Amino acid sequence: MAITIPDRENRDSLFFDAAYFIIEKNEIRPGQLQIKFRLGYNRANKILKQLVDAGIVSEDLYKYKANVNKEEMLMAFHNTSHIEEQLDKGLLDI
């Protein structure tokens, strides 16, 4: 399964931190994300929706399970940050 990272304007600032947290736990409930990052209900659910849309986690009734292993996620995150750095430096024109 391919991971699709949302662009900066469309992803929450805690997207990567939440992804790492979920991968470490393998599965979580939304309340755990709220407690860990001191978030309100709506923001926690927004982040979880972004992670589902990215293919990092899947929703299973009242909990979310990791779809990918840590290595796959780290590779996708590394590629995304590398591309964003190149764009910031004006080295890529997309």
> Using an 8 Å Cβ cutoff, are 18 and 6 in contact?
no
Tell me which amino acid residue 11 is. R
Domains of the chain: 12-88 (1.10.10.10)
Q: What sign results for the dihedral spanned by CA atoms 64, 70, 72, 77?
A: positive
Enter the pTM of the model.
Answer: 0.73
Q: What is the pLDDT of residues 35-92, one digit of tens each?
A: 999 999 999 999 999 988 888 888 775 677 777 666 776 677 766 665 566 556 665 4
For Cα atoms 28, 34, 36, give the angle at the middle one, nearest 5 degrees.
75
